[in-house]
Amino acid sequence: MKFGKEFLSQMVPEWQEAYLDYNHLKAILAEVSISKQPKGSDVSGKLKRKVSLYRAFSGLTGRRHSPRKQDDAIITNIVQNGSEESYQSMFFMSSDRGGENEVVFFRRLDDEFNKVVRFYKKKVGELMVEAEELSTQMDILIALRIKVEKPDVAFEDVDEHVDLAGSAVSSTVTSTHGRATDCVFEGRPRLETTQEVEMADDATSISEVMEVKEPKNCCRKESRGAIQTIQERPASLDLLPHVRINISPETPVSTLKYMVASSKARLSYNKKELRNSEELMTRALIQFYQKLQVLKGYSFLNTLAVSKIMKKYDKITSRKASKVYLEMVDKSPLGSPTEVTRLIESVETAFIKHFANGNRRRGMDILRRKIRRERHGITFFSGFFFGCAVALVVAIVLVIHLRDVFESNGSSQFMDNIFPLYSFFGFIILHMLMYSGNIYFWRRYRINYSFMFGFKEGTELGHREVFFLSSGLAVLTLACVLSHMDMEMDPVTKRFEAFTESIPLALLMAVLLIIFCPFNIIFRSSRFFLLRSAFHLVCAPFYKVTLEDFFLADQLTSQVQAFRSLEFYICYYGWGDFLRRTNTCAQSNIFEAFYFVVAIIPYWTRTLQCLRRLIEEKDARHVFNGLKYFSTVIAVAMRTGNDLNMGMTWRTLAIVSSVIATISGTYWDIVCDWGLLRRNSRNPWLRDKLVISNKSVYFVAIVLNILLRLAWMQSVLGFREAPFIHRQALISIVAVLEIIRRGIWNFFRLENEHLNNVGKYRAFNSVPLPFDYDEMAR
């Protein structure tokens, strides 16, 4: 792979604009190469090869006898502008052929390099501030740990400081009893007393002998026949009286505490409090460590890009300017990232000591980023299941055609009772296929969907895995449909009505068992992630609203018919006569009531989420977004009443409410969710930044979104049943169109979110810290 493509693939997507513009510099060098050729000369390729060979072997055309050295082509300088440093180069051979373009090249290279250095220094400054905060949080955590496990220790007996921003983790021993040592019990340092420590006049001059032992053994070792004790300074407890626990309203319990009490509570010094604080601190340190690694990679990649572009310049111009320029790069913070390296070492030391029981392998395994491995078996079985699904579809079509299924007397019963049961799985399969396509295009256009959804590293599903699941479910569903039809028509098996009619229910139970299976099979991490997000929707608005939660709620708004199919499952197998393939669900008042409820639940959930975000973020946009979903709740209720043939009044209300909901929803989709229709943008009527170069794609998506949103018109215009298509089939077609619309919406919604993150250079989620303290107490 060429370096340009490798450089692009290794970029942090949210920092793309902060990287060296390698492609533009290559374009300038192409102009330099063209300008170096003699004007009006027509040199053939054959002649060029002869000249290049002649120069390579004889060296007669070289410039080693030139009085000017090649290194004198440029000089570099570091200019101090107040508190900022600027890196500049000066080109001395502008009078040579093509020298003007070389001047432009070095000017642009200097601008790009200074841009990279400024961004790097800014991020380093932010990380240094964060390191100071994490150091204080670690001091409090260590003090709390000792106070919980050794409550008889006095405040003045302890004084340990974790300095992540320094060169190492400092520790000394002070004790009123003249004896202290640190032993490890159950993965945590605990205070023990010993008489092996001789106190010096200066506490900081006490030497330390560091050793890693098993968790349940005291940290002592034999050295030359004498027992030496590991000396570590216990943590300072001075801050504890001034510390409060941060109660972030992210769960139902914490939300209720936040509403009843306050956001800050005093320390209670119990093990549960310690355990929760350790979990938050672990997450914060892992996140901080990964930030450091990404910034270190940013430094290395840009330094390599400068080296590559200068070598390309030397090759084109036959000069030797890269050595001088790279010496300047090495003197810059980008060329010697000592601060980041020191921070990385400090975090590793602190994390291994306090969270991995001194086990470096275990600690580094937790800290390092997890990379998802591609499995060739997934690709094979995806194709295999897809082929089986196509074969089953052909078989079902042949059975229907050869046996005239829809011409028989029982065709109406089949469509009214069995078709809604299997169509439920069809809606899910189509939605998964659309999501698989979304993932494929998100990756193709470098949209960091895994970061925005907050997937656990190394466990996020790719488009192959989602396609594998959807094709597998399709094979299972189609096989059940075919066996159901065959058993019903075969005289031998026709008398087993109970078994035949229970096939859809068995399929549903099998799918639910797979979803809730606690064993580590079939992508357990992703299944639990889905269940957790679904539980957040059930408990809305008591959970903090994140992108994955409201994104899932938006998906469910397009699966209204699937919810109604689940309701029909309960009715059909609960109090319907499924052995005779009949039901009285349509005549049940309870069924009609829930027919309303299940349709508005997803929209009502989104309304509650908007309310929660309004309270937290104080952004008026959430008011209008909530009103949009509330208008959709009213429209869906009115359309449901019209579907149940409640009269002309309901039809009029359905038309009016649906028009209002369609206009508001379409405007919000295109303008707010997609960020399009910006009249004064660089791309007229779109937006300034686009990930797809073909602008017509956006206009096609806008038109499709509008047309597919009008699918509700079939119900209010009297097209609920046509002579050539059954009512249930028409309902399913409308549901399919809505799922397709949602799949299109998904791509552009996440594209806009990604570009917003790029504009803010936001490549990491914020992690709440466990403690709040008074600055005056430090």
3-state SS assignment for residue 80: strand
CB count within 10 Å of CB 165 equals: 17
Q: Which of 150-159, 465-474, 685-694 has the lowest mean pLDDT?
A: 150-159
Are the CB atoms for 533 and 455 separated by under 8 Å?
no
Q: Which helix (H) or strand (E) holds 181?
A: strand 181-185
Q: What's the pLDDT band for 187 if we cut at 50, 70, 90?
A: very low
pLDDT digits (tens, 9 = 90+) for 83-118: 778 888 888 777 777 678 888 888 999 999 999 999
The per-residue pLDDT for 220 is: 38
Q: What is the predicted pLDDT for the residue at 143?
A: 84
State how far Cα 27 lies from the chain centre.
34
Q: Is the peptide bond before 541 cis (omega within 30 degrees of 0)?
A: yes
pLDDT of residue 718: 59
Q: Determine the number of helices (DSSP H) and then strands (DSSP E) in the chain.
A: 25, 9
Supply the DSSP symbol for 192. E
DSSP 8-state class, residue 171: B
Q: Torsions phi, psi of 116, nearest 5?
A: -65, -45
Tokens, residue 591: 């069924």
Q: Region 281-307: what's the mean pLDDT?
A: 92
How does pLDDT run across 191-248, given as a tens digit for each residue?
A: 333 333 333 333 333 233 333 333 333 433 333 333 333 344 445 566 777 787 777 7
Rounded distance between C-alpha atoms, residue 515 and residue 98, angstroms: 66
> How much is the pLDDT for 739?
95
Q: Which of 602, 588, 601, 595 is nearest to 567 (CA)?
A: 595
CA–CA distance, 339 with 322 (Å, rounded to integer):
26
Strand partners of residue 223: 226
pLDDT > 70: percent of the chain: 78
pLDDT, mean of residues 701-710: 93
DSSP 78: E
Mean per-residue pLDDT, 324-335: 89
Contacts of 495 (CB under 8 A, 6+ apart): none
Using CB atoms within 10 Å of the CB of residue 732, give its burial: 0 to 12 exposed, 13 to 18 middle, 19+ buried.
buried
CA distance 142 to 144: 5
Least confident of 179-183, 254-258, 287-291, 680-684: 179-183
Q: What is the pLDDT of residue 704?
A: 95
CB-side neighbour CA atoms (13 Å) of 614: 15
Say how many C-beta atoms besides its own lie within 10 A of residue 367's C-beta: 22
The residue among 512 and 218 whose pLDDT is bigger is 512
pLDDT for residue 775: 59
Band (pLDDT 50/70/90 cuts) for residue 719 is: low
3-class secondary structure per residue, 315-353: HHHCCCCHHHHHHHHHHCCCCCCHHHHHHHHHHHHHHHH
Instruction: Using a pLDDT cut of 90, give the percent of the chain over it.
Output: 39
Query: Residue 550 and residue 697: Cα distance in Å, rounded?
Result: 26
Q: List, in sequence order, every beta strand (DSSP E) within 199-252.
A: 220-223, 226-229, 243-246
Contact 146, 234 (CB under 8 A): yes
Q: What is the DSSP letter of 711?
A: G
What's the pLDDT tens digit per position in 532-580?
999 999 998 888 899 999 999 999 999 999 999 999 998 888 876 677 7
Give residue 120's pLDDT.
93
Q: What's the DSSP call for residue 670?
A: I
Q: Where are the domains of the chain?
A: 172-232, 376-760
The DSSP bridge partners found for residue 89 are 76
Question: Given this model, what pLDDT does residue 81 score?
Answer: 77
- 671: Cα within 13 Å, side-chain hemisphere: 11
The answer to whether the beta carbons of residues 250 and 124 sit under 8 Å apart is no
Asked if 429 and 473 count as a contact pair (C-beta separation under 8 A), the reply is yes
Q: From residue 537, give the alpha-carbon distance in Å to each of 543, 549, 776.
A: 8, 7, 41
Q: Facing residues of 244 across strands? A: 266, 772
Would you state the pLDDT for residue 417? 84
Of 48-62, 695-709, 759-773, the range with the highest mean pLDDT is: 695-709
Residue 414, pLDDT score? 81
For residues 758-767, average pLDDT: 81
Which of 178, 184, 177, 144 minimizes the C-alpha distance to 160? 144
Contact partners, residue 385, CB within 8 Å, separation at least 6: 468, 471, 472, 474, 475
Least confident residue range of 7-11, 372-376, 745-749: 372-376
Model's pTM, two decimal places?
0.81
- The pLDDT, as a whole number, for residue 190 is 37
DSSP 8-state code for residue 371 = -
Question: Does the pLDDT of residue 251 top 80, yes or no?
Answer: no
Residue 291 has pLDDT above 50, yes or no: yes
C-alpha Rg value of the chain to the nearest Å: 34
